[in-house]
Amino acid sequence: MTRIGPWFRVPVCAAVLSLAAAGCGGAPPFAAAAPPPGDPAAGKRVYVRCIGCHSPARNRTGPRHCGLFGRLSGTVPGFDYSAAMKKAAITWNAETLDWFLLDPMEAIPGTSMTFAGVKDARERRNLIAYLATLDADSQACRSVAAKLRKEG
């Protein structure tokens, strides 16, 4: 299947109506490298809801978020994940995050991220755009940047 972003979903779905069940209703896989369509500054404000358990650069009650994009679920060194999260083996990108963050416990039954989720689609989009900024070049991740580069 072509790897396309959700902002192309409407025209693509129109073109492949016969595949509606696989495409339009559900969620096409997302190109990991594509920048997610959202406002990272607005997303940073949504991220306030995550800071009870997460921080970009440190493992806390939840794992650190620096380097999240492109990472396999359950793989931050030194964090004690649930068996469910490790088994899920999901590569985090805009698409998989959108699905997970809507309702984490429904998406991955058995996860220890016991949080109701971010129900508003626009808030999720912005939040994901912010999470995407947490790469080795970002200021919030500078302290772990060397480690991130080593981990690839």
Give residues in contact with other proteins (CB under 8 A): 48-53, 58-61, 82, 105, 110-117
Q: Look at residue 91 and give its three-state secondary structure.
A: strand
CA angle, 70 as apex, 2 and 146 as ends, to 5°?
A: 150
| Residue-level length of the chain | 152
81 is a contact residue toward ligand HEC (CB under 6 A): yes
Residue number, 127 or 141, with CB nearest to ligand HEC: 127
**Segment interacting with ligand HEC, rule: CB under 6 A, options 9-17, 30-38, 67-75, 141-149:** 67-75
Residue number, 23 or 64, with CB nearest to ligand HEC: 64
Question: Which residue blocks in 16-143 are alpha helix, DSSP H?
Answer: 40-46, 83-88, 94-102, 104-107, 121-132
116 binds, among other proteins, ligand HEC, none (CB under 5 to 8 A by kind): other proteins
Q: Look at residue 72 and give its three-state secondary structure.
A: strand
